[in-house]
Structure 1
Amino acid sequence: MTNDIRSVVSRELEGEIPPSALTADGIVTAGRKRVLGRRLGIGGALVTGVAALAAGILVFQPATGGVATGASPEPSVSADAAPQVEEQPSFPLPDLDWNEGYSWTAASSGTGTPETEVLTDALWEWIAARGDVSLYRHDDAGDADVQITRDNLPPVGRSNVFLVGDAAGEPAAFSRPVYVFGDSSKRLRWVVDGVPDDSAIFLTLYPKDSYLQGAGSIDGVLPLKPDPRYLVAGCEDYRYDSQTHEGQLADFTCDERTGPGGERILTVECVLDADGDSTQKIVTALVYLPDGNAVVVNAEPIVGHQNTGTNPGQGTGQGTGPGPGLTADDMVDLALSMPPVIVK
């Protein structure tokens, strides 16, 4: 090996390759072919040595952020990876003897959550976009009603409702969360096209599997209290007993359609005491969402509501007017305007 070649190999491999046993005299004696072959062998050794040196660098590189020989690199996480989407939990109805007189407790005003805040914003956007709808809070003392703005709009709240039996002290058989907008005392009055509404409007979101789709009634019971497995009474006419009269007629008109996103939509109009002298109307719109939840908008008569003519938020008198100012189609539109949220 010449001194020039030896110095190159020594410098690259930092003295790790042992000296060659060949001498210059031996190379000359072996002839040109052997010289050429030996030179090619040395060249191969040089390449192999350099590769070994590079491998050695890789072996010791992990301390400075490199990859060790034989180690699999850690998979990188893309910054654009889609976040996991929360799924709507299921609240399946229990297996009960539904002839045992079960009923739901009333939902309270509830507490605020991020989901209910989203719904409150959407509700106000719907009211503001209409232009012909306004809300007032009725004052039972006779003072002027207070008009509702975004700042004093009662929020949608989360509440737990419980399924209870007739027996006193019996523990609840089931509970489900609901999101509710509406005033159980019915002091929140709607005005549509300048005409005070005769009904209290409620909006409720029910969670997946906590109800049966469609309508179901309990014979003899006021339609405001449907079969507890369903969210609305109907759709067959029947007679019921009220606090003052027996055998009053509940006259139902039901319609079903498909929404723009494939939602099943059911509207139910029920005329109470249809063949009597105190006719009232209940209107309910139900939208069954693809995620399994249901949005229900319903209008209940305001019974015993006096109209003095001085407060714009008061109704048309005694709760016996023609019914809610919002039509069934209005209520469907309101229900469809609610963004999808997790009910939990």
Structure 2
Amino acid sequence: MTRDFGSSLDRELDTASPPTAITADGLVRKGRLETRRRSLTAGAASVVIVALAAGLVFQLAGRAGGDRADPAASPSTSSSESAAPSFPLTQSAFPLPQPDPDKKWFWATVGSVEQNPATRALTGAWYQALSNIDGAELFTSDMDTGVTSAATSANFGPFTRRVDGLAENVATEPGAFGRGELQGYQRPMYELWNVNLHFDGVKRPDGIRIEYFPKGSYIEGVKSIPGAVPGASDWRYLSSGCEDYFWSGQGRDGWKADYTCRESTGPNGERVQEILLDTHRPNDSSPPSRSSKVIVYLPDGNAVVVEDIAPEPMEPGEPSIPDAEPGLTPRELAELVFSIPAVVIV
């Protein structure tokens, strides 16, 4: 397979040091993967995003929960709201710990899932960005019932805040996960996972997943877990990749993770990692499962991961779908990230 990832990133996968060189060339794509370009409409959408950015600045300057009255100015505010701290204006760092290197570690969700002014701003901005993609219809799934319907500004998402804790992996099978004792380190993150894009001419919709990670809580680069399912990454990194490997587990033997990776740069100097993943079944006559992913390292130290997961090429009782590929390229996913105002992750 053709690779143009550079020796600097190869060194990073062997060590914990991120590379400094960034290549600005476009994504090198596989010959069999047809390029499907989607245009992102501007005009009214850009006006809405600018307005959202201004609103977010106002929220960040006020108290947490931007739709509440200022506790100091409202004697009727409840005790729980009046005790809420001010929402910060700048991003704090969450430096990674150095746990026992002889143990295996992974991220486990701790605490409750909730919203805050930043997640609400992201919900509005990403709704505008995704709903204005030409040639695609946006859908959302209710987080309680799982019912899927056409997305509107009222039912879209929402983005939520989650807290992950570092836990020991006590599973003995390669690539498996079993939660042991928590190490003590925690990091907040924002995520959106219950949305789909149905592209014109495709039988089933793509799955879209978006995650925001705070400064200091990751190592730049990519690194897979040997023997784990494709997509499972070393706990210090935000994605698996970019070397091909075979894996077995969870009833699957001899499957292959086939990566194509590339680096580029954003309009404000953002480092961008573009990743295409084909997952091959042992029977090579079956079309692969495909996903398109981008990691954007923002100037404020935060990172955004966006993934477009193509519909499965085969379903029970159905013929294979030869064009089951992501509707958006990694670079198109990056362009979406560039259009979204920055937020503080707390």
TM-score (norm 1): 0.64
Determine helix, strand or coil for the equivalent of 1:110: strand
* Structure with larger RCO (C-alpha < 8 A, sep 6+): 2
Q: 1:182–1:202: 8 Å Cα contact kept in structure 2?
A: yes
Q: 2:288–2:313: 8 Å Cα contact kept in structure 1?
A: no
**CA offsets, 1:153-181, max 9 Å, x none?**
11111111122112454124421111111
2:157 is equivalent to residue 154 of structure 1: yes
Determine helix, strand or coil for the equivalent of 1:97: coil
Determine helix, strand or coil for the equivalent of 2:210: strand
Q: Which residue of 1 aligns with 2:290?
A: 281
Q: Which amino acid aligns with 2:190?
A: Y
Q: 2:140–2:157: 8 Å Cα contact kept in structure 1?
A: no
2:184 is equivalent to residue 182 of structure 1: no
Q: Which residue of 2 aligns with 1:298?
A: 307
Structure 1 residue 318, shift from structure 2 partner: 8.3
Structure 1 residues 202, 304: CA separation in 2 closer, same or farther (over 3 Å shift)?
same
2:272 is equivalent to residue 261 of structure 1: no
**CA offsets, 1:183-214, max 9 Å, x none?**
2xxxx432123535554210111000100111
Structure 1 residues 144, 220: CA separation in 2 closer, same or farther (over 3 Å shift)?
closer
Structure 1 residues 169, 107: CA separation in 2 closer, same or farther (over 3 Å shift)?
closer
Q: 1:205–1:293: 8 Å Cα contact kept in structure 2?
A: yes
Flag the structure with larger Rg. Answer: 1
Q: Which is richer in strand?
A: 2
2:221 is equivalent to residue 218 of structure 1: no
2:341 is equivalent to residue 333 of structure 1: no
Q: 1:197–1:325: 8 Å Cα contact kept in structure 2?
A: no
Moved more, 126-135 or 190-199: 190-199
Determine helix, strand or coil for the equivalent of 2:137: strand
Q: 2:95–2:216: 8 Å Cα contact kept in structure 1?
A: yes
Q: How does 1:54-203 map to 2 (within 5 A)?
A: 86-98=89-101, 100-105=103-108, 110-137=113-140, 145-167=148-170, 169-183=180-194, 188-203=195-210
Determine helix, strand or coil for the equivalent of 1:252: strand
Determine helix, strand or coil for the equivalent of 2:276: strand
Structure 1 residue 97, shift from structure 2 partner: 3.5
Q: How many pairs were matched up? A: 248
Structure 1 residue 129, shift from structure 2 partner: 2.9
Structure 1 residues 127, 169: CA separation in 2 closer, same or farther (over 3 Å shift)?
closer
Q: Unpaired runs of 5+ in structure 1?
A: 1-82, 309-315
Q: Percent identity?
A: 32
**CA offsets, 1:230-259, max 9 Å, x none?**
111111111111422323221110010110
2:259 is equivalent to residue 252 of structure 1: yes
Q: Which is richer in helix?
A: 1
TM-score (norm 2): 0.63
Q: Which amino acid aligns with 2:103?
A: E
